[in-house]
Amino acid sequence: MGFGLISCSLLFVSSQSASAAAEGDDATVEGTVYIDGKAPIGTIDDDFVCATLDWWPPEKCDYGTCSWGLAGLLNLDLSNNILLNAVKAFSPLKIRLGGSLQDKLTYGTDDNQEPCTPFVSKPSEMFGFTKGCLPLKRWDELNDFFAKSGAKIIFGLNALAGRSIKSGGPALGPWNYTNAESFIRYTVGKNYNIYGWELGNELSGNGVGTSVTAKQYAADTAALKSIVQEIYKDVGFKPLVIAPGGFYDTNWFKEFIDKTTTSLNVVTHHIYNLGPGVDTHLVEKILNPSVLDNIIGAFSGLHDIIKSSPTSATAWVGEAGGAYNSGHNLVTNAFVFSFWYLDQLGLAAKYDTKTYCRQSLIGGNYGLLDTKTFVPNPDYYSALLWHRLMGRNVLYTNFDGTKKIRAYTHCAKQSEGIMLLLINLDKSTAVQVKLAFNGTMTLRHKHRSLTLHNQRMSYKKTIVRLPQTADSETRREEYHLTAKDGNLQSQTMLLNGNILSVDSSGSIPPLEPLYVNSTEPITVAPLSIVFIHLPYVILPACKV
C-alpha cells in the first residue's frame, strides 16, 4: 500500500525546551506518522471516557496510608460545586459505581431483613471489611446528583449474594438475586435512569478474594438479563447488561462469552498493569514503551474472542487505575500519569474497546479529582481533551523514527479532519514529525483542493506541499500538555504553557488551542503530549 507524505512536519517546543535546545541540551530527531485513511480499524462510543466511584470507607488503607477520605459513595459530598462542574463538563460522563466492596453490599429495600449499616473495618474479613448496606435515602441523593450532572450511570451489583465461600477458595452455588431485583424495581419505580447493570467485580479466572466459574457466571448473567427484561418491559430505555468486571483470562472469558451470546451486551475487564501502588519504580515504568505495551495481549485477546463468537457484546474497560491498591501519591495523581492514561485510551480504542472507565473519578491516589479538595488533577484535563477532540472512528497509525513516541489518530469529533495524539516519552529529545497517508485523501484549502489518489500497491512517496502563504483555512489547532516547572510529579498541568485550574466559583477552565498556520514546522517537546487537529485532511475513513 502506498503512502503519500505531507510536508507539514509537526513542531512545538515549550519555552523551557526551546531554551534548552538553544543551549544544546536537547536533541531533535525526525520521524514519520503513517496513517491508513481508507477505513476505520475500530469505533468507540461518543462517551468513550468513563470514570468510577467506589464504595471504600475512610478506613481503607494501603501500605500504611489511608487515601480515600470521604470519597466513597456512602460519604461523598454531593453538594461540592467543583464535583458537579467536573462531571457536567463532559455532557455526558459515564460513571461506573462499583469496586471490591460491591460484592459485599446489600440494598436497604423492604426485603432486606438485616440492619442497613455501613461497612466496618474487620481485617479477618475478605477485603478487610464487613458487609455494608446502601440506604435508599442515600440512593435517592446520589440519583439527584446524577440527574443534575447529566451523568450516565452503570451500577455494579453484588454477585456473591447467596453463594458459599470457602476461605481462599471459589464461591459456590448460584447467585441469589432477590435483593438486587427489589433494588432494581425500586430504581425503576423512582424513574432513575440507569445506563447499565453490571454483575460482579473481579470474580473471573482466579478472581480477587474469590472466584466464580465461567459456566455459573453465564447462568447468573442470564438471570440478570431476565430480571432486567421483566422490570423494564414497560420502560422505553432498556439498560445494558454488563459483566464480568474482572481481569482478562483467555479460557474463562472465551467460555463466558460463548455461553452469554443472547444475555450479555457488554463484556468488561479491569487493568492494573503497572503493579502495586507501593512500587518505587512507577515513573520509570510509565515512561517505558515495553511496559505500556504489556496490556496489548489482553486487548487483542478479548477483541479476537468477541470477533470469533456469535455474541453481539462489545468490550469495555470497566475499571483501570494502573497501579493497584489505590495508586501512588504524586505519581498516579500527577502529570506523569497522563502518559500512561492517554496511551491506555489510545490502545484500548485501537482494539475496538467502546468505553474506558478510569479508577477513579475521586478517591485513592488515582482520582481524576483530588480526594480532599475536589480540584482536578492533570488526568482530568487529559480525559476532557480526549472526550472533546477524539472522534468515534479509529485510524490505523504507526510511528517510525523513535520508540519513545506513541501515536494515535482518530477522525475529529465535532468537525472535519483528523485528530492526532502524540506522546513523547523521551526526557531530552524533541521529535520533528511528518505525516504520511495511504488511500485516497483530500487536502482542503482556500480556492482549491488537492487529491491524493489511491496509489494501489505503489510504494512511491508523493510529496504534497501545502500553501506557503498564510491562510485561515489551512490552520491547525494544537493542544500541548506539559508539567509545571518541568516536574513530572507535579499535580499542575500546563496547556500551551498556561496553568489549568478552576476559578473561585469552581468552574472548569476552557481548553483553548493554539492556532498555527500549517506552513509552520512543528516538533513535539521532550516529555510532552500534544493533540493536533488537522481540519483540512479529509479521509475516506472519516466519511463512514
Alpha-carbon distance of 469 to 71, in angstroms, equals 53
Active site residue 319: yes
Question: 307: Cβ–Cβ under 8 A, 6 or more apart, which residues?
Answer: none
Alpha-carbon distance of 179 to 111, in angstroms, equals 7
Closest Cα partner for 47 from 202, 220, 196, 235? Answer: 196
HSE of 425, CA atoms in CB hemisphere, 13 A? 22
Question: 22: Cβ–Cβ under 8 A, 6 or more apart, which residues?
Answer: none
The DSSP annotation for 484-515 comes to GGG-TT-S-EEETTEE----TT-PPPP-PPEE
Name the grid cell of 232. Answer: 423494564
Helical residues (DSSP H) of 369-499, grouped into ranges: 378-389
The DSSP annotation for 154-166 comes to EEEE-S-TT-EE-
Quick one: how far is CA 17 from the chain centroid? 29
Active site residue 202: yes
Give the start-end residues of each E strand in 45-135.
49-53, 94-97, 105-107, 132-134
Closest Cα partner for 370 from 201, 493, 497? Answer: 493
Residue of 181, 230, 284, 319 with catalytic role: 319
Alpha-carbon distance of 183 to 176, in angstroms, equals 13
Name the grid cell of 485. Answer: 516547572
Residue of 181, 202, 477, 478 with catalytic role: 202
Phi-psi region of 29 (alpha: psi -120 to 50; beta: other; left: phi over 0): beta
Alpha-carbon distance of 478 to 475, in angstroms, equals 10
Rg (CA), the chain: 24
HSE of 50, CA atoms in CB hemisphere, 13 A? 30
Alpha-carbon distance of 97 to 110, in angstroms, equals 22
Question: 491: Cβ–Cβ under 8 A, 6 or more apart, which residues?
Answer: 330, 333, 334, 335, 370, 377, 378
Q: Under a CB-based contact definition with an 8 Å cutoff, are residues 435 and 35 in contact?
A: yes
Name the grid cell of 219. Answer: 447462568
Helices 214-231, 178-189: inter-axial angle, 10-degree rounding: 30
Alpha-carbon distance of 202 to 210, in angstroms, equals 8
Alpha-carbon distance of 19 to 526, in angstroms, equals 13
Dmax over CA atoms of the chain, in Å, equals 76
Phi/psi for 208 (5° steps) reads -120, 110
Catalytic site residues? Answer: 202, 319
